[in-house]
Amino acid sequence: MSKGRLLYAQSGGVTAVINASASAVLAQARARKIPVYAGKNGILGILREQMFDTAGLTSSEIKALANTPGGAFGSCRFKLKSLQQDAGQYQRLLDVFKAHDIRYFLYNGGNDSADTALKISQLAQQSGYALTCVAVPKTVDNDLVITDCCPGFGSAARYTAVSVLEAAIDVEAMAETSTKVFVYEVMGRHAGWLAAAAGLAGETAKEAPHIILFPERAFDKAVFLAKVKDTVAKVGYCVVVVSEGVKTPDGKFLAQAEGSVDAFGHSQLGGAAPMLAGIVKDALGMKVHWTVPDYLQRSARHLASQVDLDQAMAVGKAAVELALSGNNGVMPAIIRTSDMPYRWHIDPVPLSRIANVEKKMPDAFIRKDGFGITAACRRYLSPLIQGQAAVPLGKNGLPVHFKPKLPLVKKKLKAWVK
């Protein structure tokens, strides 16, 4: 039996099913008799030597984690630079691992998290410390390469398609005397996967969404306005879905706040919908409503896709097995083998092929006019939103969520100074 502990941590924006991956990690590690610590607020908590001991969780509590959105152990947006630039912080991580006999590190996140796991793996090898690092995929942006999709995306995609479908019915009912244009903004910094998911809400030209604006296509104001005007004339109303990452022809984000960036150094986005609404109102004089679902689209566990839940748990379980088998510096990727019926399996992929690489929407998935999805895109997306992942309901009619209350591991090192 392998010796040492497994350390699991969550990173970046959380999802409706990231705790399902956590649940699978804990259950599989326990089945293999490997003790598990969980970093408080991701890599930041590890630097601070703040880790939860999960030994106190019962089997039923571990199972209940899978029904809870958000990050059970806390997440963070904290990007480590290169091994040379952040040598002190990497050494601190290694010191924490050594002090607590951490031999397996599983980091649940997206591109930046895969990069962090790879660098820690490289440092441990250089230092001669036996540590196996595995990245567990997660992101509603669906922009990790090689893997067919990213856990968290399917549920956000389902929420988006359902929300656009239902909102469009509302708008249609009021269009004659009220709102003519409705703008719905989705997440997606450089890749339009979530915007594309809205396309599942309708199949014909008259069905919403009538316009989808992708980050992969530069925004042309004149063409956009002409499309809106024509749609309202033909259909009676127009539903627009815009990705937060849509850019103008000069490469600037449509809704970029001046000088505003997040902790990863990415431009802080959000606000494309109200900007488009203003453009339509000023140019066409139509009544416009807009919405920015923001966190709602990634936390809606009540609308989670069963396929997404299954995949989130599968990558968590696989990550443990890969780590215990000595597969260092890899990520369990979802490999599609069939569209109808949808079939897939898990394969390990080297992090060197994944870290810092973005998967954008292929041209074949975007309609020629740039305002919708193709049949090929629909074939790709449709299987990912299938099935309603059940959520237990309490006596008050609300979902029952489990939030673990665990003790922090006793510190063995001096306080970390950033």
CB 263 within 8 Å of CB 78: yes
User: Which amino acid type is present at position 334?
Assistant: I
- pLDDT exceeds cutoff 90 at 268: no
CB 404 within 8 Å of CB 72: yes
Tens-digit pLDDT profile for residues 6-27: 999 999 999 999 999 999 999 9
CB 104 within 8 Å of CB 132: yes
- Please check whether residue 396 lies inside any domain of the structure: no
Do 75 and 165 share a domain, yes or no? no
Residue 3 pLDDT class (50, 70, 90 cuts): confident
CB 146 within 8 Å of CB 354: yes
- According to the model, what pLDDT value does residue 190 have? 87
Q: Who's near 166: CB < 8 A, 6+ residues apart?
A: none
- Please check whether residue 284 lies inside any domain of the structure: yes
* Buried-state track 308-326, b at ≥16 Cβ within 10 A, e below 16: bbbbbbbbbbbbbbbbbee
CATH code of the domain in which 105 resides: 3.40.50.450
Do 251 and 189 share a domain, yes or no? yes
Residues facing 186 on adjacent strands: 243
| Single residue among 357, 373, 403 that ends a domain in this structure | 357
HSE value, Cβ hemisphere, 13 Å, CA-based, for 191: 21
Do 185 and 234 share a domain, yes or no? yes
Do 296 and 306 share a domain, yes or no? no
Tens-digit pLDDT profile for residues 178-208: 999 999 999 987 899 999 999 999 999 899 9
Distance CA 339, CA 376 (A): 10
Closest by CA position to 385, among listed 140, 22, 166 = 140
Residue 261 pLDDT class (50, 70, 90 cuts): very low
- Provide the residue range defining the domain that includes 195: 153-300
Do 103 and 165 share a domain, yes or no? no
Tens-digit pLDDT profile for residues 337-390: 999 999 999 999 999 999 889 999 999 999 999 999 999 999 999 999 999 999
Q: Which of the residues are catalytic?
A: 141
Tens-digit pLDDT profile for residues 290-305: 999 999 999 999 999 9
Domain count across the chain: 2
Do 295 and 172 share a domain, yes or no? yes
Do 326 and 350 share a domain, yes or no? yes
Q: Give percent of the chain above pLDDT 90.
A: 88
- According to the model, what pLDDT value does residue 262 have? 43
- According to the model, what pLDDT value does residue 258 have? 36
Do 166 and 282 share a domain, yes or no? yes
- According to the model, what pLDDT value does residue 270 have? 64
- pLDDT exceeds cutoff 50 at 225: yes
- Please check whether residue 49 lies inside any domain of the structure: yes
